[in-house]
């Protein structure tokens, strides 16, 4: 089914804080309109990436369409995590309205404020959806009051403040405009879709005017090549049409080979598409996000897409450890360079800078350590082998020439008994408490303004100290004056002084000195970090030392070797753990922490030079 009248098209984006149920709601809408089977077992069908399904978060913005009562509704599912805010900023331009999804227990959170601000500035009149109303301790009335306050703080117009309210449970599959009817008389999501049809304006644009389409997302197909996804703001685009593409890189001519429309989760080939619709096009291999496509010789360029600047950077290096090249498929400088610059074509919030001093090192800038670690994990799964440094914040100078750094708004929900330790640690990291409240169900909410530097390595500490019971979220707030030095990792590292196979007898003696990261039987090399030392200083140990058989006197007098299970670190935990003089070696099969300088004499020499 394809529609050719712009009168039938409505474009809507779903925005919310992470884990408030955006993708689950899209699933429910697709099922309610018959676009996917009601008995579909798989959850979050919009999460197409392996990393999205594993982590339970949305990383890339995606499109779907539903047909309802003669209307085509284009739905844009957006990420909820602050690190992927660049995805939200660029795709909101395709929508005419947004569904603001808010948890009935948690209420508006930092990322809610961030994405709502972007939407209000574009002139959208949001629809408020109170989700998870069937949760224990749900308080929809209090949440609505907080949302009104948030709209007021963000300077919403009276028209934007007059938003419709829908109460729903995306997981249970029901919605209603009246709280008393939700889940009782209204037992499906059709009331929500009715509100969308009534409230969302019909997509504007003159179908008979000169073609104007802006690319706001990029995809790649092995058979069709690069796919540019965007909205047609004016005119009609046709298959095999000669077009001109204008962007910051100049003007290029080409021909549209295919037009791809969205029907449910599927892409269908169209002969033409009209103003107001969201489609994908192929045939233009040098497309970039923000480019405007028009008729040949008559292209009117739209304003380029701007996103907030990166706040965190990390160095990506070619792997030069003793085990380099054994496990990876792509290991050279050229292969890593090409992959990083290819990422910037679709990831507009990321920057890649070449190091003029070292050709094997690249500075990658992003919106947070999660933003960068997802890229690292993606490259690892593609077969790349590389090393990365500790994340660093990007410092700037203000108008008076003073040094400034990024600050974030941090909110932590945790049991009350753990709050004292967490507050003490946040204060040590130069954080400033803004608010603190304890809910009726025994959870304490702490709100801080803290330098982004202070959050590097904090999540691992929080998980350990709260026994995994804390929920943390943060969002970029502002650039402000440099807060001064923040002490890094308190403990030193256990460093291997030999290359070989780690043996149980040696690790048994080493484990008294700290916490091990490696099990027995794996290959280690000189300068590799084996674990965390119990003291502040680094300690060199020999994990390959075997017990001499001449020391065995009798079978009954030998002490049994009992090893504590090692702490297996994930990629994010490795990146959070390392200090300035360490790197994480990443291969498709292994994660290793190492010193930048493997030779101990060279480490001492560099430490003396840094102290001068």
pLDDT tens digits along 84-94: 666 677 778 88
- Written as six digits, the tokens of 554 are 């009798």
Q: Do the beta carbons of residue 591 and residue 584 sit within 8 Å?
A: yes
Same domain, 136 and 41: yes
Q: Are residues 450 and 498 in the same domain?
A: no
280 is in an annotated binding site: no
| Structure tokens that stand for 107 in this block | 């209420």
pLDDT at 81: 62
Residue 426 counted as domain residue: yes
Q: Is 21 annotated as a binding residue?
A: yes
Portion of the chain with pLDDT greater than 90, in percent: 34
Is the CB of residue 408 less than 8 Å from the CB of residue 472?
Answer: no
Rounded distance, CA 146 to CA 169, Å? 20
**Mean pLDDT of the region 492-504:** 93
> pLDDT grade, residue 482 (50/70/90)?
very high
Does residue 193 sit in the same domain as residue 236?
no
Query: Residue 133 annotated as binding?
Result: yes
Quick one: average pLDDT of 441-463? 86
Q: Are strands 396-397 and 432-438 parallel, antiparallel or unpaired?
A: unpaired
Residue 215: beta bridge partners?
230
Residues 181 and 257 in one domain: no
CA torsion through residues 459, 465, 469, 470, sign: negative
- The answer to the question of residue 315 being in a domain is no
- 48 and 152, same domain (yes or no): yes
534 and 464, same domain (yes or no): no
Residue 496 CA to chain centroid, in angstroms?
A: 34
- How many residues does this entry show for the chain? 612
What does residue 394 show for φ and ψ, rounded to 5 degrees?
-95, 115
Query: Please, what is the average pLDDT of the chain?
Result: 85
| Residues contacting residue 51 through CB under 8 Å, at least 6 positions apart | 59, 374, 377, 378
Give the Cα separation of 262 and 368 in Å (integer).
32
Q: Are 95 and 76 in contact (CB under 8 A)?
A: yes
Residues 79 and 22: their CA atoms lie apart, in Å, by: 9
363 within a domain of the structure (yes/no): no
Look at residues 585, 528, 603, 572 and name the one whose alpha carbon lies nearest to residue 318.
585
Residue 221 has pLDDT above 80, yes or no: no
In this structure, the answer to whether residues 126 and 194 fall within a common structural domain is yes
Q: Could you tell me the CATH number of the domain that includes residue 401?
A: 3.30.70.240
561 within a domain of the structure (yes/no): yes
Q: At 108, list the tokens.
A: 């508006």
517-521: long-range contacts, CB 8 A cutoff, minimum separation 24:
517/566, 517/567, 517/568, 517/569, 517/593, 518/543, 518/566, 519/565, 519/566, 520/563
Poorest-pLDDT segment among 99-108, 354-363, 396-405, 602-611:
602-611
Tell me how far apart the alpha carbons of residues 531 and 519 are, in angstroms, rounded to a whole number. Answer: 11
The alpha carbon dihedral of 87, 93, 94, 97 has a sign of positive
Task: Say how far apart CA 553 and CA 304 lie, in whole Å.
Answer: 79
- The annotation status of 131 as a binding-site residue, yes or no, is yes
What is the rounded distance in angstroms from the CA atom of residue 331 to the CA atom of residue 350?
A: 22
* Residues 233, 221 contacting (CB under 8 angstroms): no
How many structural domains are present in the chain?
Answer: 4
Reduce the secondary structure of 49-111 to three states and give it as a string.
Answer: CHHHHHHCCCCCCEEEEEEECCEEEEEEECCCCHHHHHHHHHHHHHCCEEEEEEECCCCCCHH
In whole angstroms, give the CA distance from residue 134 to residue 595.
51
Hey, which residues does 263 pair with through a beta bridge?
Answer: 266
What is the tens place of the pLDDT at every residue in 361-390? 999 998 888 888 889 999 999 999 999 999
Question: Does residue 465 sit in the same domain as residue 547?
Answer: no
Rounded alpha-carbon distances, angstroms, from residue 207 to 236, 249, 294: 6, 28, 13
DSSP annotation string for 135-170: STT--HHHHHHHHHHHHHHTT--HHHHS--EEEEET
Q: Among 36-50, 374-388, 509-523, whose mean pLDDT is lowest? A: 36-50
- Establish whether 347 is an annotated binding residue: no
Provide the domain limits for residue 568: 493-611
| pLDDT, mean of residues 546-569 | 73
221 is in an annotated binding site: no
The dihedral sign for the CA sequence 368, 372, 377, 378: positive
Inside any domain, residue 193 = yes
Q: Report the run of H or E that residue 471 belongs to, with start and end.
A: strand 471-481
Give residue-wise pLDDT tens across range 267-322.
888 899 988 888 989 888 778 888 899 988 888 888 887 777 888 999 999 999 99
What is the domain-level CATH number for residue 531?
A: 2.40.50.250
| Nearest one of 202, 231, 260, 229 to 93, comparing CA atoms | 231
At 462 the pLDDT is 86
- One domain for residues 154 and 61: yes
**Gap between the Cα atoms of 142 and 355, Å rounded:** 52
Asked whether residue 385 is domain-assigned, the answer is: no
Q: Which percentage of the chain shows pLDDT scores above 70?
A: 91
Task: Summarize pLDDT for 139-197 with one digit per residue, the tens.
Answer: 899 999 999 998 998 889 999 999 999 999 988 888 999 988 888 888 889 999 999 99
Pairing of strands 212-221, 292-295: antiparallel
Q: Name the residue among 76, 74, 78, 98 with its Cα closest to residue 6.
A: 74
Tokens of 14: 């779903």
Q: Are 132 and 104 in contact (CB under 8 A)?
A: yes
Q: Which range (77-86, 309-318, 325-334, 575-584) has the least confidence?
A: 77-86
Statement to judge: residues 50 and 179 lie in one domain: yes
Contact 65, 207 (CB under 8 A): no
Using the predicted structure, report yes or no on whether residue 359 has a pLDDT greater than 90. Answer: no
Query: Per-residue pLDDT for 4 more than 50?
Result: no
Domain termination site, one of 481, 502, 526: 481
Strand, helix or coil for residue 563: coil
Final residue belonging to a domain, choices 262, 295, 328: 295
Name 245's Cβ contacts closer than 8 Å, sequence gap at least 6: 251, 252, 253, 254, 284, 286, 287, 291, 292, 293, 299
Q: What is the CATH number of the domain that holds 244?
A: 2.40.30.10
Q: Is 12 annotated as a binding residue?
A: no
Residue 372 lies in a domain: no
What CATH number has the domain bearing residue 62?
3.40.50.300
Stretch 10-26: mean pLDDT, rounded? 83
**Was 134 annotated as part of a binding site?**
yes
Identify whether the C-beta of residue 471 lies closer than 8 Å to the C-beta of residue 412. Answer: yes
Task: Report in angstroms the alpha-carbon separations of 89 from 5, 23, 78, 495.
Answer: 28, 18, 9, 44
What's the sign of the alpha-carbon dihedral 484, 485, 488, 490? negative
Same domain, yes or no, for 469 and 511?
no
295, 314, 343 — which closes off a domain? 295
**How many degrees, rounded to 5, is the angle at CA 399 between CA 396 and CA 401?**
65
3-state DSSP assignment of residue 419: helix
Q: Is residue 50 part of a domain?
A: yes
Q: In terms of domains, do 553 and 433 share one?
A: no
């Amino acid at each position: 089914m394809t529609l050719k009248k712009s009168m039938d098209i409505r474009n809507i984006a779903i925005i919310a804080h992470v884990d408030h149920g955006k993708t689950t709601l899209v699933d429910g809408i697709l099922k309610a309109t018959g676009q996917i089977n009601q008995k579909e077992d798989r959850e979050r069908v919009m999460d197409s990436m392996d990393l999205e399904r594993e982590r339970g978060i949305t990383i890339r913005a995606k499109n779907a369409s539903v047909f309802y009562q003669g209307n085509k509704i284009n739905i844009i599912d957006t990420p909820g995590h602050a690190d992927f805010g660049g995805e939200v900023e660029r795709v909101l331009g395709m929508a005419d309205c947004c569904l603001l999804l808010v948890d009935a227990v948690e209420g508006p959170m930092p990322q809610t404020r961030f994405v709502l601000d972007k939407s209000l500035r574009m002139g959208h009149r949001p629809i408020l959806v109170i989700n998870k109303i069937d949760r224990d301790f749900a308080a929809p009335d209090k949440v609505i009051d907080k949302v009104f306050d948030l709209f007021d703080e963000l300077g919403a117009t009276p028209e934007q403040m007059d938003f419709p309210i829908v109460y729903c449970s995306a997981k249970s599959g029901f919605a209603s405009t009246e709280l008393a009817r939700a889940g009782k008389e209204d037992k499906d999501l059709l009331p929500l879709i009715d509100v969308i049809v009534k409230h969302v304006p019909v997509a504007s644009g003159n179908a008979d005017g000169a073609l104007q389409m802006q690319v706001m997302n990029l995809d790649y197909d092995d058979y069709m090549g690069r796919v540019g996804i965007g909205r047609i703001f004016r005119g009609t685009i046709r298959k095999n049409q000669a077009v001109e593409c204008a962007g910051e890189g100049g003007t290029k001519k080409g021909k549209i080979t295919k037009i791809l429309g969205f029907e449910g989760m599927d892409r269908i080939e169209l002969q033409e598409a009209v103003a107001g619709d969201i489609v994908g096009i192929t045939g233009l291999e040098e497309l970039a996000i923000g480019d405007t496509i028009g008729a040949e010789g008559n292209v009117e360029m739209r304003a380029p897409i701007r996103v907030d600047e990166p706040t965190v950077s990390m160095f990506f290096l070619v792997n030069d450890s003793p085990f380099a090249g054994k496990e990876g498929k792509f290991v050279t400088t050229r292969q890593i360079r090409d992959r990083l610059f290819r990422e910037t074509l679709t990831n507009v919030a990321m920057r890649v800078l070449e190091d003029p001093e070292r050709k094997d090192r690249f500075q990658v800038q992003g919106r947070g350590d999660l933003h960068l670690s997802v890229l690292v994990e993606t490259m690892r799964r593609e077969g790349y082998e590389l090393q990365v440094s500790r994340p660093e914040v990007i410092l700037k100078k203000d108008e008076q020439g003073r040094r400034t750094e990024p600050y974030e708004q941090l909110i932590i929900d945790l049991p009350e008994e753990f709050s004292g330790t967490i507050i003490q640690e946040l204060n040590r990291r130069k954080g400033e408490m803004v608010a603190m409240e304890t809910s009726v169900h025994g959870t304490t909410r702490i709100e801080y303004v803290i330098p982004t530097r202070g959050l590097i390595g904090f999540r691992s500490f929080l998980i350990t100290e709260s026994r995994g019971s804390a929920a943390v979220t943060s969002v970029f707030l502002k650039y402000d004056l440099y807060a001064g030095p923040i002490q890094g990792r308190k403990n030193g590292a256990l460093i291997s002084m030999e290359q070989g196979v780690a043996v149980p007898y040696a690790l048994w003696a080493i484990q008294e000195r700290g916490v091990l990261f490696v099990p027995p039987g794996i290959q280690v090399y000189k300068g590799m970090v084996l674990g965390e030392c119990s003291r502040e200083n680094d300690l060199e140990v020999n994990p390959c030392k075997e017990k001499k058989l001449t020391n065995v006197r009798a079978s009954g007098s030998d002490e049994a070797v009992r090893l504590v299970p090692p702490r297996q670190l994930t990629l994010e935990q490795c990146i959070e753990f390392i200090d300035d003089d360490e790197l994480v070696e990443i291969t498709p099969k292994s994660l290793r922490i190492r010193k930048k300088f493997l030779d101990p004499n060279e480490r001492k020499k560099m430490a003396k030079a840094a102290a001068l």
